[in-house]
Amino acid sequence: MEKQVKRIGVLTSGGDAPGMNAAVRAVVRTAVSRGIDCVGIRRGWNGLINSDFINMDASSVSHIIDKGGTMLYTARSEEFMQESGRAKALATCKLLGLDGIVAIGGDGTFRGALALSRQAAEAGHSLQVVGVPATIDNDIGCSHYTIGFDTACNTAIECIDKLRDTMQSHERCSVVEVMGRHAGYLALYVGIAVGATAVLIPEREINFDRDIVEKIRRARLAGTTHYMIVVAEGAGSALEIGKRIHEEIGIDPRVTVLGHIQRGGSPSARDRETASRMGYEAVMALAEGRGNRVIATRDGRIIDLDMEEALSTTKTFEMDRYQILEALSSTKQMEL
Ligand code: F6P
């Protein structure tokens, strides 16, 4: 017979993402509605190692759905990567009587969750884990969408729109670096949305002449006197790209690294709604005895997958979007 789930923990881990609070709220409120106790583990996996937790009820998550960041704080825990760190975490799980944990974060967070669950099983303790994907990078293989991506895109777009005003007035070239770690999703979506002259992403080998010099030349021929180059952090440094543009084309670009500003701000409708649905499904999976799952989106639907399978899934980069960008950024015929 299925073990009744009485108490679960919820934590946020890795880089914060707008919408994490909405996911925490959904987890707590769904648990309460199912008669399950919920404990908030603070500062990611470190909270389990250090017994840093708070008891949560429906009102503990009031007025957080609109807030960026995470009320539970977050961290990247080195200690938890070690078996000895996880042993301490398991002792806290036992002490708290946790039947399951909802871990909100990226694939590093899920790897940690799976290792903890396995170590628990080896020690004869049943601990089910469910992962909820939240990262502005949108780089989790098993899920089409990750919480925070939409808000981060909107933040970057707002900043770049402002940059464009001044670049246009001075007839300058702007080189903007956006986050994304090893992935180019953020850069590509933002590049399309701001009508960038060129976008550099790690998924496509960079050819400076083809990807920058030629693009600027075409824009110039089309009568444009300002240029917007978007660089994914994983594709190289905007400072270096700016220097090279100066050396090879003779124009004097201004470089902006958007940095952590992209992680903040009130979550968009898409992020609040997705986080609410994912948080709900995470608790339902635990309540229904489906442990070691990752909640994911597939074409807008919410599904759950085996965690090991989810972790081995790689994402196919949407190169067709890059082609759209190419078509839209070349305003003159190719022969020119
Ligand atoms: O994974 C989210 C992210 O913001 C990446 O885009 C970026 O490379 C990284 O985290 C930055 O990490 P930190 O906050 O530790 O500087």
Enumerate residues 6+ apart whose C-beta is below 8 A from 158: none
Give the mean model confidence (pLDDT) for residues 11-32: 98
Q: Which atom of ligand 1 is nearest to the CA of 137?
A: 6
Ligand 1 mean position to 7 CA, how many Å? 32
Q: What is the chain's mean pLDDT, rounded? A: 96
CATH topology of domain 7-148+267-311: Rossmann fold (3.40.50)
Q: Is the pLDDT of residue 1 over 70?
A: no
Best residue among 12, 136, 149, 189 to mutate for probing ligand 1, ranked by most atoms within 8 Å of CB: 136
Q: How confident is the model at residue 146 (pLDDT cuts 50, 70, 90)?
A: very high
Best residue among 107, 179, 258 to mutate for probing ligand 1, ranked by most atoms within 8 Å of CB: 179
The Cα 48–Cα 90 span in angstroms is: 8
- 7-148+267-311 and 150-263 in the same fold: yes
Percent of the chain with pLDDT over 70: 97
The verdict on the CB of residue 138 being under 6 Å from ligand 1 is: no
Q: Is the pLDDT of residue 334 over 80?
A: no
For the chain, what are the domain ranges?
Answer: 7-148+267-311, 150-263
Give the mean model confidence (pLDDT) for residues 287-299: 96
* SS3 assignment, position 325: helix
* SS3 assignment, position 11: strand
Torsion 154-157-159-165 (CA) sign: negative
The verdict on the CB of residue 185 being under 6 Å from ligand 1 is: no
Ligand 1 mean position to 18 CA, how many Å? 13
Which residue reads 């981060």 in tokens? 152
Superfamily of domain 150-263 in CATH is: Phosphofructokinase domain (3.40.50.460)
Question: Could you tell me the two tokens for 1?
Answer: 């017979």
Question: Could you tell me the two tokens for 174?
Answer: 């702007």
Ligand 1 mean position to 15 CA, how many Å? 6
Q: Is the pLDDT of residue 335 over 50?
A: no
pLDDT of residue 2: 62
The verdict on the CB of residue 279 being under 6 Å from ligand 1 is: no
pLDDT in tens, 175-219: 999 999 999 999 999 999 999 999 999 999 999 999 999 999 999
What is the separation, in whole angstroms, between the first and last Cα of the chain? 72
Active site residues: 137
pLDDT of residue 191: 97
The verdict on the CB of residue 15 being under 6 Å from ligand 1 is: yes
DSSP 8-state symbol, 58: G
User: Could you tell me which residues are beta bridge partners of residue 298?
Assistant: 301
